[in-house]
Amino acid sequence: MGTWFRADYSGILSRAPIGIYRSTLAGVIVQANQTMAEMLGYDCPDDIEGRDLRTIYAQAADRKRLVRELKNSEVFEDVEVEWLHRSGRRITVRLTGHVLRDHNGNARGFEAIAQDVTPRRRLEEQVTHLRKMEALGRVVGSVAHDFNNVLTAIIGFASMATMQRLSVEQRASYMADALAAAETGRSLTTSLLAVSRRERLQPEVRSVGAEVRTLARILRGIVGPDIRIECSLTGAEDYVSIDPGRFERALMNLASNARHAMPNGGALRFRVRRVRVLPDQCDHAGLAKPGRYIRLDVVDDGCGMDAETRSMVFEPFFTTRQGGTGLGLATLYGFIRQSGGNITVNSTPGRGAHFSIFLPVVHAPAERKPVPPRVSAAPTGSLRGVCLLAEDDDAVRPVVRAALEMEGLTVVEAKNGRDALASYRSLPDVALIVSDVAMPEMSGYEFVAAVTPGRPTIPVLYISGNTAGVPEPPGAHPMHSDFLAKPFSPTELRRRVRALYSRSRRRQAAPDDSSGVSGGPPPKRRVDVVRGLPPA
């Protein structure tokens, strides 16, 4: 009976719907079932027995990781890897296995089961794509609705300003209303770029603890007297690279949400600490690589969120508040991800919300020698020289030209980088370049990179609404360069041009102070290993 049972059991294994194999310690397949052979595109187990497993793995690092895991724990469970089918295509396989030992306890090989989950992964990708398209439809609809409102206001007020028999005061009032509506549109585009992580950030090395300490006083005015703010800033001496303006708005958004979640008062807690994220914790924390991070926890005593709300809280235009835009947390998420970190949320109904922000630690800013006092910008209309303007948009170019001419500059226009480069080579002396970034034929970056070898100190002001995907060749950012995001006002453009001029003159007149004493790496301090990460 026992012998018959074992023989029958062997038959079940050979016809099992999942792949089963054994290999030597060196990785040579010594035994496999029919499903394993078919999974790899072969007719029978004899075709794969004797083959080296290393030739089957699409990524050699995957097998090395499994062998290392087996040496440490002798088992691995539900590990997904990519194998190479006989046809050359990749298949996704889920593996579970253990070490095989002889009667003396010596390791002789490995035994594993393999399940082809490629169809399931493809189905999941299709579902994810459908969800993305559904979300995109919501975004497009919401953006179209909001922009139609903005354009209606601009067109309406501008049209009324052109009516006859209006007083100067009435005309000015209508134009002011049109400008206010345009500012609303600018805020909307800025939020959308932040959501898509295509907004151009202006990062600085800052201490998260110091930023939170400073903002706490401002946040008290946002949350009101019924909500107390508590701060624990043990990581205040550590630094991250962030856009301070975006970071301030991020915390203000979290504070505003907390206030609405606590109509009867409560506590809003900020905790800053340094943590070390280990390799096996990266996926759980949603981080690209292990290392040292500043973790900022923002916790409130509010009404909390259910699982469905929590899963959609970072989606654009999703809101649970009457009159909310649904861009606040989506913008926050985009800013944190663009800064190299991640944000997670943990919340249950009636138990508040717990947001955790992770930002990679950087070295402290270098100590610099004192700089000369700031020279005030040149008064309006006092600039002289030729300004080369490269802008492909026919509606934007006249506005920029008029603003530059009001500063006293002689403006030469070009519709793309190639024309701008030709104009530059034909002009005797260009004092300033104002250039869009994304342009046909040659980008602004490429144009400036072609100019800087001969003029490394020429002042350059980039103007653009979106620089994502535009290559930045060496020389694209000379010593005196700045960036102004569209949309902008003529007043703002003129102010930035004067500041750029002033800065370039000051740098040329001042002695070289580039040899400031470096702060060097910070001293080693005790760090915490991440524990209790809230689910992403």
- Write down the pLDDT at residue 85: 92
Cβ atoms of 529 and 285 within 8 Å: the answer is: no
Query: What residues does 434 pair with on adjacent strands?
Result: 389, 461
Q: Can you give the pLDDT at residue 329?
A: 80
> From CA 436, how far away is CA 425, in angstroms rounded?
19
Q: Tell me what pLDDT residue 522 has.
A: 44
Quote the CA–CA distance of 270 and 248 in Å, as a whole number.
14
The pTM of this model reads 0.44
Position 83 scores a pLDDT of 93
Q: Is 431 in a helix, a strand, or coil?
A: coil
Identify the helix (H) or strand (E) that includes residue 342. strand 342-347
Give residue 490's pLDDT: 83
The helix (run of H) or strand (run of E) holding residue 242 is strand 239-242
Decide: 363 and 237 in contact? Cβ < 8 Å: no
- Do residues 284 and 536 touch, judged by C-beta distance below 8 A? yes
Phi (first) and psi of residue 289, to 5 degrees: -150, 155
From first to last of its 536 residues, the chain has per-residue pLDDT tens of 344 444 455 667 777 889 999 999 888 999 999 999 999 999 999 999 999 988 999 988 888 888 887 777 788 888 889 999 999 899 999 999 888 888 888 888 889 999 999 888 888 888 777 776 666 666 566 566 667 667 777 777 777 788 777 888 888 888 888 887 787 777 666 656 655 545 566 788 888 888 888 888 777 766 777 888 898 887 556 889 888 878 887 888 888 888 888 888 899 999 999 898 888 788 777 888 888 999 999 999 988 888 888 887 887 666 666 555 566 687 788 888 888 889 889 988 988 999 999 999 987 765 544 433 333 334 456 788 899 999 988 778 888 888 898 888 999 999 999 999 999 999 878 999 999 998 888 999 999 999 988 888 899 999 987 776 678 888 888 888 899 888 788 888 899 999 998 888 776 655 544 333 333 444 444 444 444 444 33
The dihedral built from the CA positions of residue 284, 290, 292 and 293, taken in this order, carries a sign that is negative
What is the dihedral angle through the alpha carbons of 40, 41, 47, 50, rounded to the nearest 10 degrees?
-20
Q: Which residues contact 466 (CB under 8 A, 6 or more apart)?
A: 193, 198, 438
- Check residue 462 and give its pLDDT: 93
Q: Give me 496's structure tokens.
A: 């930035």
Name which of 321, 343, 340 is nearest 332 in CA terms: 343
At 188 the pLDDT is: 65
The region, left, alpha or beta by phi > 0 then psi within -120 to 50, assigned to residue 156 is alpha
Backbone angles phi, psi at 467, to 5 degrees: -105, 5
The pLDDT of residue 138 is 62
